[in-house]
Structure 1
Amino acid sequence: MPIRAVLWDLDDTLFDHAGAEGAGLALHLAAERLPAAGALERWRESTRLHWARFAAGEIDFDEQRRERVRAFLGAALSDAEAEAWFAGYRAHYRASWRLSPDVLAVLDELAGDFRHAILSNAALRHQDHKLRTLGVRGRFEAVVCAADIGVHKPDPAAFLAACDALRLPPEEVVHVGNEPDIDAAGAVAAGLGAVWLDRDGAGGRPELLRITGLGSLPALLRGGTRFGAVSAIG
């Protein structure tokens, strides 16, 4: 069957989350007069730990934010204190939001030939706001988020929910994302096509169809590619 739609991951695929995270944390630490040495690594480790708890259903979305702050600061903060600290970080993080540089040109090039949707492991209220702030919400028919549907990538049910939102069978949809397991391998397991966006050139997953920049995607989608075949492009 022909590919009719592209299902996009958002953070670190279209949106430069890593850049905004680093810039936002540095600004917030400066405002709080806290040391920056090693802070970004500790913040990311705290995020990985408590996001995994959220994905497992142990805590809700807002609690994972509070727990990230407590772990990062090593302090037994009240909910209000943790929320206030996170709000300060979030303001600096949001001021640093940017699309990745290759995004708009590729969305423009694909606009006439493919339908588009987002599948994110975050919450709709946050991702919808992010897309609107970045000026691209209208480019996507649907935004499907794990926190709202109750299932996370790489669970095949998450990908199938997004296909249902598009009213397309999975074999007519290609998922593009930056995580080899959560995005690409998960999409393949659900019966979708999959492209791993390996911006850092990490490699090491020969079973996945891989690109190192979005500029390679239009030719890939239009070239009769057998998705799931071994390839490295970029």
Structure 2
Amino acid sequence: MTQDIFVTLPNDKLVLASSSQTRQTMLANAGIAFQIQSAPVDEASLRDAALAEDMAKDDIAVLLADMKAQAVSMRLAAGDDSYIIGADQLLVCDDVIFAKPHDAKAAEQHLQALSGKTHQLITAAVIYRQGQRIWHHIETADMTVRTLDDNFISAYVKAMGDAALYSPGAYQIEGLGVHLFSQIKGCHYAILGLPLLQILGFLRPHGLVPMVASSGLPA
């Protein structure tokens, strides 16, 4: 993440409530000034409780994103006006939510289950300020996995190594994951884990400007 800063909130901070390297890289590559405060939450327990209450999948994604941003917001000192971004993503196939695989064998099993089918990636993002959620957005992408044979799946998971365990579908589309798909419908940024276009659209009216403009120099 060596990209120069291009835009900033001159009077406030932008905080990403995530330890996701992909989300951090997206913001950095876009030249956005931000800080990182990860907010570990018990996602599995929250997801299971929400499913037990028959909560809609979209609402579960928002709930998980919300809890991350809320956790960071509660750490801030009184009067802190930071904008806090929380995000989460669910992979849903045949109405089943997939968790991240815990080992290579589980990653292979996930890919066998996704093979030849279209699954959904539901990406939710929220923004907190002064302890309150002030914005949220949900984006759904349709991801069609081509029919994969066991030899390909085994070779793919081996080539991915530990990275196969970083996402429920054992893929990152910006890398080797592109070989899994026959069709993708959805926003590229949301598929990577952050609906960046909508976040920027929200932040601009709240003061997000180029660094030169914020310094009073001609833009």
TM-score between both structures, scaled by the size of structure 1: 0.26
Q: Which has the higher helix share?
A: 1
